[in-house]
Structure 1
Amino acid sequence: MTEAAEATLLAQRLAAVRERMDAACRRAGRAPDSVRLLPISKTVPVERLRAAVGAGLSCLGENKVQEARLKAEAMSDLPVSWSIVGHLQTNKAKEVARFASAFQALDSLRVAEALERRLEIEDRTLEVLVQVNTSGEASKFGLAPEDVVGFARELPAFPRLRVGGLMTLAIFSADAERVRGCFRLLRSIRERLRQDGPQEIAFEALSMGMSGDFEIAIEEGATIVRVGQAIFGPRTTSDAYYWPGVAGAPAP
């Protein structure tokens, strides 16, 4: 597929996602501009991401730091900002501090300290969201709901981290009410933080909802939805490898 054809297809998918977002906002009595779309581009090759920028995207989210960094370097000629949405080890804080505009999975003071040190060196700040494990699943990262307020009270000690709100991954279930319950819990934690958390942090953002459940998330108050496959299509076997055309990427 040519880049122009790819851009056309991506533009159609983007329009369909935004139409669904707007419809969910109307059902919830919310303004459409109260929800921001963060396209998740993990495993998507650079060639397709260039077409996506041509279709109007200016921000992308990635789970893995190495993948995000290589793509950012390969697309440094384009006006794209990068958000890291996956779990971060402290030894990767140096890379995140250098190029990312946001980190949506903060759940450790050790990571906060590592980011603060590296951001000081880079003379940068970083938007961060605190990740909460609202499903209670051992396979998911994030703070336990009962630990969020205490954790948040420590965050003003890290002035380079611009804490904007909370993030969660809902349970993967065909039962919409179980999914909805995860989003409602995150919203209730935000309300608790506004009462008992540090007053200098507003906790406005709720990043919740992905391709399979973003409409429910919007109905429950999401301000950011993280959508990948509904925009870029199903991942193929080849997408499991690093991305053709990225200098320095390991061979399949």
Structure 2
Amino acid sequence: MTDRKAQLAANLAQVEERITSACAAAGRKREEVTLIVVTKTYPASDVRILHELGVRHVAENRDQDAAPKATACADLSLTWHFVGQLQTNKVRSVTGYADVVQSVDRIKLVTALSAAAVRAERELGCLIQVALDAESGERGERGGVAPDGIEELAAAVDAADGLRLDGLMTVAPLAGPFAGRQRAAFDRLMEFSTRLRAAHPAANMVSAGMSGDLEDAVAAGATHVRVGTAVLGVRPALG
């Protein structure tokens, strides 16, 4: 076993233990939570190792890094999640490899994703990114739609050709009433998810929690956690 494979295997085992313990503490079954490994800034070789170790969901946040990596790993059975803020000029490229876009936060993006998905003859899963730090009608620092805009955006995704409304995503806010209160933030997201599912029962995916707060996300009821650093190590600084 190579050093890198051994390192990733050990890190994955630790993360797996954390998720299993969090599920047990919350009275949930382990299979209720899907681990998505965020592979941004890491090479395709790491993605291949992760696949060997059983990982099936990976996430990227920059199209210029993700597109060549997805091509290099096209022979693997992987679900690719796009989790970064997405500009409309990158939509056609992202639609070529992403299975799920977790950062849908405006109508203009829905329109562009729909057109690209239809052109590519693909169905694209969409999560509405909720900015819990946003005031009414505002967008958050890390992207996302204000909570009072969820319903309108969900209806737009649901009505759009080539798109599938899968649920909600958030990033724990650095500012506003939920700063430093991850569990409260994720509980709030679950409230929005319950409301969304009343109108769209199939939209039951809730993506929340990262390396530092995955336990809070599992406790709140998240179905997917996005873990990068805890699996791959501290990222090299981007020049």
For the residue of structure 1 that corresponds to 2:77, the secondary structure is coil
Alignment-derived partner of residue 6 in structure 1: 4
Give the direction of change, closer, same or farther, for the CA distance of 1:5–1:183 in structure 2 (3 Å limit).
same
The alpha carbon displacement at 1:182 in A equals 1.0
Which consecutive residues of structure 2, in runs of 5 or more, have no partner in the other structure? none
Distance 1:157 1:228, change over 3 A: same
SS for the counterpart of 1:113 is: helix
The 5-angstrom pairing of residues 62-77 of structure 1 reads 62-77=60-75
Runs of 4+ in 1 over 6 A off after TM superposition: none
User: Is the CA contact (8 Å cut-off) linking 2:60 and 2:66 kept in structure 1?
Assistant: yes
- Given candidates 76, 96, 112, the residue that maps to 1:98 is 96
CA distance in 2, matches of 1:124, 1:53: 23
- Contact kept, 8 Å, 2:126 with 2:157, in 1: the verdict is no
Q: Deviations over 1:219-250 (max 9, x none)?
A: 0010000000000011123xx25xxxxxxxxx
8 Å contact kept, 1:105–1:131: yes
Matched letter for residue 57 of structure 2? C
TM-score by length of 1: 0.86
Greater relative contact order: 1 or 2 (C-alpha under 8 angstroms, separation 6 or more)? 1
**Partner residue, 1:149:** 151
Secondary structure at the aligned position of 1:129 is classed as strand
- Which of 36, 39, 42 is equivalent to 2:37? 39
Structure 2 CA distance for aligned equivalents of residues 203 and 38 of structure 1: 18
Is the contact between residue 158 and residue 164 of structure 2 (CA under 8 Å) also seen in structure 1? no
Give the C-alpha shift of residue 100 in structure 1.
Answer: 1.1
Residue 19 (structure 1) aligned with residue 17 (structure 2)? yes
Match runs of 1:185-224 below 5 Å: 185-195=188-198, 197=199, 199=200, 201-224=201-224
The answer (yes or no) to whether the contact 1:135–1:169 under 8 Å persists in 2 is no
Inter-CA distance 53–111: structure 2 relative to 1 (3 Å threshold): same
Q: 1:81 to 1:146 in 2, by over 3 A?
A: same
Counting matched residue pairs gives: 233
Deviations 1:94-135 (A, max 9, x none): 112211111101111111111111111111101111100013
| 1:180 partner amino acid | R
Cα offset, 1:176, TM superposition? 8.9
Distance verdict in 2 for CA 1:75–1:145, change over 3 Å: same
What amino acid is the match of 1:178? R
Q: How far off is 1:20 after superposition?
A: 0.5
Cα distance in 1, alignment partners of residues 149 and 76 from structure 2: 40
Instruction: Give 1:121's aligned residue.
Output: 119
Alignment partner for residue 178 of structure 1, among 177, 181, 191?
181
> What's the offset of the Cα at 1:157?
1.7
State the alpha-carbon separation in 2 of the partners of residues 138 and 103 from structure 1. 18
CA contact (8 A) 1:90 1:114 kept: yes
CA 80–194 in structure 1, closer or farther in 2 if over 3 Å, else same: closer
Matches within 5 A, 1:226-241: 226-237=226-237, 240=238
Indicate the structure (1 or 2) with the bigger Cα radius of gyration: 1
Match of 1:139 among 131, 138, 141: 141
User: In 2, Cα distance between the equivalents of 1:154 and 1:168?
Assistant: 19
Equivalent position SS for 1:105: strand
* Paired AA for residue 5 in structure 2: A
Supply the AA of the counterpart residue of 1:181.
A
Aligned residue identity for 1:38:
I
Superposition CA RMSD, Å: 2.0
Deviation at 1:159, TM superposition (A): 3.2
Q: CA offsets per residue over residues 40-81 of structure 1, 9 Å max, x none?
A: 001012233332222222321001112110111222333333
CA–CA distance in structure 2, aligned partners of residues 64 and 165 of structure 1? 21
TM, length-normalised to structure 2: 0.90
> Aligned ranges for residues 156-175 of structure 1 at < 5 Å?
156-172=158-174
* Secondary structure class of the residue paired with 1:170: coil
Identity within the alignment, %? 37
